[in-house]
Amino acid sequence: MASLKALRARINSVKSTRKITSAMKMVAASKLKRAQTQAEAARPYAERMQRMLAALAASAAGSPNAPRMLIGTGRDQVQLLVVVTADRGLAGAFNTNVGRAARNAIQRLEGEGKTVRVITVGRKGRDYLRREYANRIIGEYSFAGKKRVEFSDVDEVAARITAMLAAGEFDVCTVIYNRFVSVISQVPTEARLVPLPMLEAEPEEKPAGPQAQYEFEPDEEAILAALLPRNMAIQLFRALIESAAGEQGARMSAMDNATRNAGDMINRLTLNYNRTRQANITRELIEIISGAEAL
């Protein structure tokens, strides 16, 4: 049985761990609130953009010189994956889940004989994929140290992807990120950026009629040329802020668990400590009494 001193030291160390985890939980909770507000504030723009894009896509998709960003290159040989994770750990399985989803996707695509390229956003995803797939990673971004994700940060990544598409360096682009479902649930999700998935879902709502008759100024192509890169940036931005909110949620519940576990452990150790102390007292008493009897 451990000595009393060792037990006391152990209890103190678990107590300070509990203080840290509960503080981290509080911090995550307040950051979560902020991230959630940001995610909600960004929603109107994305929704309206989607609506506009649907109207435009319907009238432009048929034309033979529709932009590449809308219909893709017509092939699916080179696949670009954008993997969005957090920069910090201690958030439960948050980063690992995305990492695993990315790994599965890479294995699946390579199994089909496709070429895979990866851009990572966030340090943890890079660290995870670097071990096995270092040579597929062509770019890495990290916004560590930033209080919140700004739209201008995302622009940089989106500009890179746009340039790559223009140069024909990939055919299909997919983002893998943690979708924020609720504070305790984040689902790793794959979302396609290029070609736009809405085209395939289109036909059923086509006969809606009157709302399709937009006029365009200057013309459809000029608007699409400006709108599509914008849409790409918005989709990425959305993935990033959802992931940021998810990270805080995941950290909050991970730290909540850790705090609870630390509490349980303290209770167990305290019980153990008291028993040991009692045992020591009893033993000493027995020694004294039997010593006295021997006289």
Partner 1 sequence: MPTLLEIVSPDRLLLSQPVDMAVIPAAEGEMGVLPGHAPMIVLLRGGTITLHEGGRPTSRLYVSGGFAEVTPERCTVLADEAVPVAEVSRSAAEARLAEADAAYAAADKADIPALEAAMQRQQAARAMVAAAEAA
Binding site for partner 1 (CB under 8 A): 38, 41-42, 44-45, 48-49, 51-52, 55-56, 150-151, 211, 213-218, 222-223, 226-227, 230, 233-234, 237
Nearer residue to partner 1 within complex by CB, 216 or 273: 216
**Least distance (Å) from partner 1 to the CB of residue 102?**
26
Nearer residue to partner 1 within complex by CB, 38 or 142: 38
**Least distance (Å) from partner 1 to the CB of residue 99?**
28
**Least distance (Å) from partner 1 to the CB of residue 239?**
13
Helix, strand, or coil (residue 242): helix
Which residues on neighbouring strands pair with residue 119, listed in sequence order?
82, 139
Give the residue from 262, 247, 255, 257 showing the smallest Cα distance to 96: 247
Using CB atoms within 10 A of its CB, is residue 135 exposed (0-12), middle (13-18) or buried (19+)? exposed
Give the residue from 70, 62, 80, 57 showing the smallest Cα distance to 171: 80
**Least distance (Å) from partner 1 to the CB of residue 256?**
29
- Residue 180 φ/ψ, nearest 5 degrees: -85, 110
Nearer residue to partner 1 within complex by CB, 98 or 227: 227
Strands 172-182 and 185-194: antiparallel
**Least distance (Å) from partner 1 to the CB of residue 48?**
5
Q: Which residues have a Cβ under 8 Å from the Cβ of 207 and sit 6 or more positions away? A: none
The one-letter amino acid at 130: R
Nearer residue to partner 1 within complex by CB, 43 or 260: 43
Nearer residue to partner 1 within complex by CB, 226 or 288: 226
**Least distance (Å) from partner 1 to the CB of residue 221?**
11
Nearer residue to partner 1 within complex by CB, 124 or 238: 238
Structure tokens at 76: 């699916």
Nearer residue to partner 1 within complex by CB, 45 or 273: 45
C-alpha angle 185-188-191 in degrees, rounded to nearest 5: 130
Nearer residue to partner 1 within complex by CB, 46 or 71: 46
Cα distances from 137 to residues 133, 156, 175, 201, in angstroms, run: 7, 17, 14, 31
**Least distance (Å) from partner 1 to the CB of residue 194?**
20
**Least distance (Å) from partner 1 to the CB of residue 182?**
23
Region of residue 197 (left: phi > 0; alpha: psi -120 to 50; beta: else): alpha
Rounded Cα distance between 86 and 143, Å, is: 9
Contact 81, 117 (CB under 8 A): yes
Which residues on neighbouring strands pair with residue 185, listed in sequence order?
182
